[in-house]
Amino acid sequence: MKNAESLLTAFSAFFKEKMPVFIKTVNDENSDGLELDDFYDAVIFGEHCRTLPFVAVRLEQAELTEKDRIIENEVYTLELELNFQETSAKSERKKLRYARAVCLFFEEYEFCDLWQRAKITEFKKNSVFVRVEM
């Protein structure tokens, strides 16, 4: 049976370690002077990070699906919130580029044992939200 805390920690560490490659790829694809920064931290369980950009990982829900009840396997849903700071003129382009980097990350590790599905769910002012089912 999976443990929520260990999954959050493992996912956060994996995301923080692997994401710089995809941020660099997106930066290389675009040569207009707008550079994405690597995330300073991936925080969990309501911790706060004062340095932008950072990723906040939260446990959204845990449930047993019909077949998972038999083998006592919980399905966890995480929410990633990618936070960055930017002026309003560049904010939209930056959001889309971070979203592109996240898509590249999940495409590359599509068959990773850490999650089943991931999708971008929402864009807010200076944040991109991603839902991850584990």
Give residue 61's pLDDT band: very low, low, confident or very high (50, 70, 90). Answer: low
* CA neighbor of 52 nearest in space, from 23, 84, 81: 84
The residue among 81, 97, 72 whose CA lies nearest residue 132 is: 81
Q: Which of 131, 128, 105, 108 is nearest to 118 (CA)?
A: 131
For 21, phi and psi rounded to 5 degrees? -60, -40
pLDDT tens digits for 64-112? 555 555 555 667 778 888 888 766 677 788 888 989 999 999 989 887 7
The pTM (predicted TM-score) of the whole model is 0.80
- Residue 22 near residue 73 (C-beta atoms within 8 A): no
What does the block give as tokens for 59?
Answer: 């446990």
State mean pLDDT over 4-18: 85
30-53 residue pLDDT tens: 988 888 888 888 887 667 777 888
pLDDT mean over 120-125: 82
